[in-house]
């Protein structure tokens, strides 16, 4: 069973991972976007960590809702509303249960990913964060590791795609050959989830 502390550690681990990879995300974004994805997410997850540490929420749902709200308030761009909606909707689906099962998380994440698709009007193959999130949410029904691997494979699979959503879509065929920064950061989020599961005790 996963408790609020687990979700707190997941977010903290994501923040650390985004910190570490910020330059790489920005580099990917400079190829097909406007070179700020890393710094934007870094600002957002730093705020998430601080907010969670200040007043740790008591349920898994509340952790994700608070994290999502922080992202919407601090990130801006498309990433703020999209990541914010992902976490808020997933948290809302988890309700106010003190602990949740992996199956419940998988179902909630699926709903969160669907909300992202609806908000951005995107689908699989558009070269967006969904290309990592959709397979990850599905694989989470099997295991955390399967979700991590599916997200990574999904992010890599965006390389040959032509972007149809977001700023990269303005490039048309010139967007082909570059890995999507949003799918890459989404894979970090899922990798942090798997790492949190693998960690023991209070490791953050």
Q: Which residues of this protein are in contact with another protein, per CB under 8 A? A: 26, 30, 32-36, 39-40, 43, 72-82, 119-120, 162, 164-167, 169-172, 174
DSSP state string for 5-43: HHHHHHHHHHHHHHHHHHHHHHHHHHHHS-S-HHHHHHH
Q: Nearest distance from residue 17's CB to another protein, in Å?
A: 19
- CB of 11 closer than 8 Å to CB of 48: yes
CA trace torsion 42, 75, 187, 32 (10° rounding):
-100
Task: Please identify, using beta-carbon distances, which residue of 81 and 110 lies nearer to another protein.
Answer: 81
Q: Nearest distance from residue 85's CB to another protein, in Å?
A: 9
Q: Nearest distance from residue 36's CB to another protein, in Å?
A: 6
Task: Please identify, using beta-carbon distances, which residue of 98 and 177 lies nearer to another protein.
Answer: 177
Q: Nearest distance from residue 167's CB to another protein, in Å?
A: 6
Task: Please identify, using beta-carbon distances, which residue of 28 and 194 lies nearer to another protein.
Answer: 28
Q: Helix, strand, or coil here: 138?
A: helix
Task: Please identify, using beta-carbon distances, which residue of 79 and 90 lies nearer to another protein.
Answer: 79
Distance CA 76, CA 37 (A): 10
In whole angstroms, what separates CA 83 from the centre of its chain? Answer: 6
């Amino acid at each position: 069973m996963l408790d609020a502390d687990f979700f707190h550690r997941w977010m903290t681990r994501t923040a650390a991972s985004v910190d570490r990879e910020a330059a790489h995300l920005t580099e990917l974004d400079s190829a097909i976007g406007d070179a700020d994805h890393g710094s934007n997410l870094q600002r957002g997850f730093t705020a998430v960590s601080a907010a969670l540490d200040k007043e740790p929420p008591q349920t898994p749902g509340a952790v994700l809702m608070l994290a999502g709200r922080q992202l919407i308030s601090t990130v801006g761009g498309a990433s703020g509303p999209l990541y914010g909606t992902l976490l808020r909707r997933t948290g809302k689906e988890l309700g106010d249960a003190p602990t949740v099962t992996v199956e419940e998380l998988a179902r909630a994440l699926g709903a969160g990913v669907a909300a992202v698709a609806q908000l951005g009007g995107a689908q699989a193959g558009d070269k967006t964060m969904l290309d990592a999130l959709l397979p990850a949410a599905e694989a989470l029904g099997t295991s955390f590791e399967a979700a991590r691997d599916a997200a990574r494979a999904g992010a890599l699979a965006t390389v040959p795609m032509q972007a149809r959503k977001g700023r990269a879509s303005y490039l048309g065929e010139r967007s082909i050959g570059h890995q999507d920064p949003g799918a890459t950061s989404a894979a970090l989020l899922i990798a942090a989830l798997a790492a949190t599961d693998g960690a023991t005790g209070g490791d953050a």
